[in-house]
Structure 1
Amino acid sequence: MKMLKLSFVWLLILSLAVLAACTNSDSSTKDDETETSKPATSEGTETEESDEKVSIEFWHAMSGTGQESLDSIVKGFNDSQDKYEVVAEFQGTYEESLTKLRGVGGTKDAPAITQVFEVGTKYMIDSGYIEPMQKFIDKDNYDLSQLEENILNYYKVDGELYSMPFNSSTPVMVYNKDAFKEAGLDPEKAPETFSEVIDAAAKLKKGEMYGFSMLTYGWFFEQLVATQGGLYVDEDNGRSGDATEALFNGPEGLNVFSFLDTMNKAGTFGNFGTNWDDIRAAFASGKVAMYMDSSAGVAGAITNARFDVGVAYIPHAEEVKRNGVVIGGASLWMSKGIAEKDQEAAWEFMKYLTTPEVQAQWHLDTGYFAINPKAYDEENVKEKWAEFPQYKVTVDQLQDTVPGLATQGALISVFPESRQQIVTALEDLYQGKDPQEVLDKAAEGTNRAMEIANKTKK
């Protein structure tokens, strides 16, 4: 009954989910997907030969460049040893992949590894589908200290790591250095606070060029709240128990909405909607001088612009110290209910993924962070950073992040729905409605969703 109730909750969430995370390149599906054949067995009969490779399925949602890099990494693992074989299978968007997992989760037919976006973390922990990574870490005495602490923290609850981080990103502020020069601003020193951004945006507004823009997307709002030290929900951001009340409509959230409202009313804010491609195209074509993007979008911003591109930390309210950023992206989950040998194969692959050499390749291919910081010492990474120092800014911001409940990130099972509430609030704000009023309405919607989810779970 509990699983049926969880399934109902997730169906509700999926029906209201909008805008898959920036880490999912597109929602296209493949015409021909590889189907893994599993060794057939019958009761009391051993049909698998001792020297036969253990073949496991890895469900993922990477497309485009991300899929190309992932396929290369999987091939590298398969070629590196003769005991295991990983078959990577594209399953569509994060939402589509998770819907498919619901049909087989917790059974022997589940894929050994599933990639799930970060806002699905709470759902996965509660689902009963998974084995926590900590089980394998403890059994193998695996040294977690070699991995990036500020990435691991998101996927830890009560000190236990539930999934292995994979494609990880954070937001950054990207700006047009040429426009800064023309406006009399220092191109090597981006504004750091909300008021500094407001002032710079006014100077940068020229003709069809707006000073600043931010995608109408809840993720950026969450980050601007967290860098002020603000919590998204109660119960220690949902990490000491099931959250019941939204806190994002407090002083920190109001600071963010007032910041955007000021520029919107002044005509220096460009509203380019909810589509990543639209806001990135606006920057590349000179229609906006500063905007928020994912760290994984930096390479594209540099490549597509006809001007010199700068990258900076995200801004914060002047009355607080910068706390840093919350990790975004997705992680890899180990299935429960599958054969022990399949879990062993999955764990060996995950360890391979975390090596400096593999992480260096992943970082350079895609722009995502290396979860093993030793990757940044690899010569190919050093060479790339020397050519594009903007890459290093994204890593510096992550490593400068102050660990805490705010930057660890919130855990709620209805996060996609809550993000939709924020999108609606932002749209209303840009139509001239009161910042506190629209924030309170979004908080009420989130509270209702959490109440339903918590009741259904019990």
Structure 2
Amino acid sequence: MIKPLKLNQKSSLTLLLAFVMLVLAACGGTTAGGGDSKPEAGEANGTEAPKASEPVKVVWWHSMSGELGKAADKLVADFNASQKNVVVEAVFQGTYDESLNKMKASMDSKSGPALIQVYEIGSRFMIDSKAITPIQQFIDEEKFDISALEENILNYYTFDGKLYSMPFNTSNPILYYNKDMFKAAGLDPEKPPATYEEVAEAAKKLTKDGQTGASFAIYGWFMEQFFANQGAELVNNGNGRTSPATDSLLGSEAGVKTMTWWKQMIDDKTMLNLGRKTDDTKKAFAAGQIAMTLDSTAALRGIVNAAEGKFEVGTAFLPKPKDAQDGGVIVGGASLYILNNRSEAEQKGAWEFIKFLTEPKQQAFWSVNTGYFPITKKAYDEQLVKDNMAKYPQFKTAVDQLHQTKANKATQGAVMGVFPEARQLTEGAIEEILNGKKSPKEALDGAAKEISARIQQYNKTVSK
């Protein structure tokens, strides 16, 4: 039996929601891992449990706009046409932050959805809110087999051995490079740099004739990935997974080493600082102004298409220091949560839709039309994916990077209830370093102190 939200949880939930709404309001509408969405939205109205003769209506709130939204709508249409018991209504709710704020506002009135897409850095809040029915409950009740799903993707959304949400749109960052510029600089285009040291050396050789070696957007997600790739944890207490995090480790050796490397390339004039927007680094890369950049795997098709007829795009694993510990990348993107203030029929209907989305055919369609990873291994056997891989062989880099990631607390990903704000503070510290206002250690320690204070403040709002 699926349990609804208990009344005695209400006061602590209200306090927690009020606190996080203030945090997210201060952060703006950032998204992670290539799932940018424009703010628009209509509110979905709550519905009574349907009569036995009627299909169950499941309202799904998501943050997929543009082509991503079209792909999501196609999945919904296909599901609705595949059976007669459940009708899913997809409603675009703006950015991840905007959608989450609307969900919080709807909790008491029950006017919200049965299913919601939430970005990965919202995981700690969703669990603490006690507003969800863990996906693990549905898996256990019908002994649903998840062995075909990608372990390194499930890993992020698993806490204490329990899967709380189902991954939906998943990406990780890779290094993109201009193979033609590599050839012109005397570098082997089939041997891209793999370490911080090799990137710095290549950037020097690539900086000439009005072109610059590289540019990385000032994006907190990249810093999180650089930590994981060194096997380093971003917050204490096992990255917030053995027990709730209380302190940020941003100023640790992994962070200082990363920012010292990054800042030295700025000082050497082999790296451009183009600010916080990945759109700006993408444009500079497509124009041949820079030879290397970082971006999400979800951006791959757009980057390759933008360079078509101008130069060949190469892809490589995210770089790391030559003496780094075992690590890898953390998944970005978002997952699907079932809310427990909806009827049992709606929750089960949402679960039926989730199962449909995990099937190889649906995962193949979603991956090919969005650039996100399939979460189902068997999707790679689908002809659609095989054809797409032949057209965009660069995507194999991303798949290999995912599969070669070593599973540990670092690569499982940090969790904290104030992650959106922490990401903003991290970006502020990076700016201070690249602009020469503070040393790497000073800026990162300052941001870590601020993040730790906010984590501790958040923890006080969470009921024990």
The normalised TM-score by structure 1 is 0.95
Give the match for residue 456 of structure 1. 461
Partner AA of 1:2 in structure 2: S
- CA spacing shift, 1:417–1:367, aligned 2, 3 Å: same
| Match 2:47 to one of 18, 38, 57 | 38
Give the match for residue 401 of structure 1. 405
Give the match for residue 229 of structure 1. 231
| Match 1:204 to one of 203, 206, 217 | 206
Q: How far 1:34 moved relative to its partner?
A: 8.1
Q: Deviations over 1:46-79 (max 9, x none)?
A: xx54331111100000001110000000000000
Partner AA of 2:259 in structure 1: F
Alignment of 1:265-280 (within 5 A): 265-280=267-282
The answer to whether residue 401 in structure 2 is matched with residue 390 in structure 1 is no
- CA spacing shift, 1:157–1:183, aligned 2, 3 Å: same
The answer to whether residue 73 in structure 2 is matched with residue 71 in structure 1 is yes
Separation of aligned partners in 2, 1:49 and 1:12: 39
Give the match for residue 369 of structure 2. 365
Alignment of 1:157-196 (within 5 A): 157-196=159-198
Query: Contact 2:46–2:112 (CA<8 Å) still a contact in 1?
Result: no
Separation of aligned partners in 2, 1:278 and 1:419: 19
Q: How far 1:391 moved relative to its partner?
A: 1.0
Partner AA of 1:259 in structure 2: W
The answer to whether residue 26 in structure 2 is matched with residue 26 in structure 1 is no
The answer to whether residue 328 in structure 2 is matched with residue 324 in structure 1 is yes
Q: Gaps (5+ residues) in structure 1? A: 42-47
Give the match for residue 3 of structure 2. none
Separation of aligned partners in 2, 1:11 and 1:51: 39
Give the match for residue 44 of structure 1. none
Q: How far 1:297 moved relative to its partner?
A: 0.5
Partner AA of 2:13 in structure 1: M
Separation of aligned partners in 2, 1:36 and 1:80: 25
Separation of aligned partners in 1, 2:440 and 2:176: 25
Partner AA of 2:220 in structure 1: G
Cα RMSD (Å) = 1.5
The answer to whether residue 15 in structure 2 is matched with residue 5 in structure 1 is yes
| Match 1:313 to one of 278, 301, 317 | 317
- Aligned to 2:52, the other structure's residue is in SS state coil
Separation of aligned partners in 1, 2:90 and 2:449: 41
Separation of aligned partners in 2, 1:340 and 1:96: 26
Give the match for residue 377 of structure 1. 381
Q: How far 1:8 moved relative to its partner?
A: 2.5
Q: Deviations over 1:115-144 (max 9, x none)?
A: 000000000000121011100000010111
Alignment of 1:271-290 (within 5 A): 271-290=273-292
Q: Gaps (5+ residues) in structure 2? A: 1-10
- CA spacing shift, 1:344–1:417, aligned 2, 3 Å: same
Partner AA of 1:452 in structure 2: Q
| Match 2:59 to one of 49, 57, 60 | 57
- Aligned to 1:154, the other structure's residue is in SS state coil
Partner AA of 1:91 in structure 2: Q
Separation of aligned partners in 1, 2:133 and 2:145: 19
Query: Contact 1:324–1:400 (CA<8 Å) still a contact in 2?
Result: yes
Query: Contact 1:108–1:339 (CA<8 Å) still a contact in 2?
Result: no
Partner AA of 2:452 in structure 1: N
Alignment of 1:62-101 (within 5 A): 62-101=64-103
The answer to whether residue 122 in structure 2 is matched with residue 117 in structure 1 is no
Give the match for residue 27 of structure 2. 17
Partner AA of 1:441 in structure 2: G
Q: How far 1:339 moved relative to its partner?
A: 0.8
Partner AA of 1:442 in structure 2: A
Same amino acid, percent of matched pairs: 43
Partner AA of 1:367 in structure 2: G
Partner AA of 1:320 in structure 2: A
Separation of aligned partners in 2, 1:355 and 1:152: 15
Separation of aligned partners in 1, 2:418 and 2:209: 42
Query: Contact 2:168–2:336 (CA<8 Å) still a contact in 1?
Result: yes
- Aligned to 2:156, the other structure's residue is in SS state helix
Query: Contact 1:36–1:56 (CA<8 Å) still a contact in 2?
Result: no
| Match 1:356 to one of 351, 357, 360 | 360
Q: How far 1:107 moved relative to its partner?
A: 6.2
Q: How far 1:85 moved relative to its partner?
A: 0.4
Query: Contact 2:45–2:111 (CA<8 Å) still a contact in 1?
Result: no
Q: Deviations over 1:76-131 (max 9, x none)?
A: 00000111100000001111101110022376433110000000000000012101
Give the match for residue 45 of structure 1. none
Query: Contact 1:225–1:252 (CA<8 Å) still a contact in 2?
Result: yes
Partner AA of 2:305 in structure 1: T
Of residues 308-317 and 206-215 in structure 1, the stretch that sits farther from structure 2 once superposed is 206-215
- CA spacing shift, 1:321–1:455, aligned 2, 3 Å: closer
Query: Contact 1:226–1:406 (CA<8 Å) still a contact in 2?
Result: yes
Give the match for residue 242 of structure 1. 244
Q: How far 1:355 moved relative to its partner?
A: 0.2
The normalised TM-score by structure 2 is 0.94
Give the match for residue 445 of structure 1. 450
Give the match for residue 4 of structure 2. none
Of residues 293-302 and 98-107 in structure 1, the stretch that sits farther from structure 2 once superposed is 98-107
The answer to whether residue 437 in structure 2 is matched with residue 428 in structure 1 is no
Q: Give the paired residue count.
A: 449
